[in-house]
């Protein structure tokens, strides 16, 4: 709002000042949209990094197995 007023005070036509105001408003809106999109993408990236791995082959620790055979302790007569 200040830019068009200053332009008119310094001798620019009202039409020119209005065009400048519309141009600045368009640039501001575009920057806000791009900033929001960037923030969303950054939040998704942070969430993906902190999320535990998913799927059948994901393990909690190296060598950790579930079920199946165990050592000699489970063999009969051993």
Instruction: Judge contact between 3 and 21, C-beta under 8 A.
Output: yes
- Could you state, in order of their start, the residue ranges of all structural domains in the chain? 1-50
Give SS3 for 1: coil
Structure token digits, residue 72: 């000699």
Note the residue count of the chain: 78
Please report where in the chains the tokens 């055979």 appear, as a residue: 69
Report the pLDDT value the prediction gives residue 75, as an integer from 0 to 100: 59
pTM for this structure?
0.55
Give the mean pLDDT per block of 10 residues along the chain (78 residues): 85 90 95 96 88 66 60 60
pLDDT value for 62: 61
For position 76, what pLDDT does the model report?
Answer: 64
Under a CB-based contact definition with an 8 Å cutoff, are residues 7 and 17 in contact? yes
């Amino acid at each position: 709002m200040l830019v068009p007023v200053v332009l008119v005070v310094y001798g620019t036509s009202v039409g020119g000042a209005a065009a400048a105001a519309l141009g600045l408003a368009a640039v501001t809106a575009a920057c806000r949209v791009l900033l929001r999109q960037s923030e969303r993408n950054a939040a998704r990236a942070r969430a993906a990094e902190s999320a535990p791995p998913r799927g059948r082959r994901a393990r909690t620790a190296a060598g950790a197995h579930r079920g199946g055979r165990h050592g000699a302790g489970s063999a009969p007569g051993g």
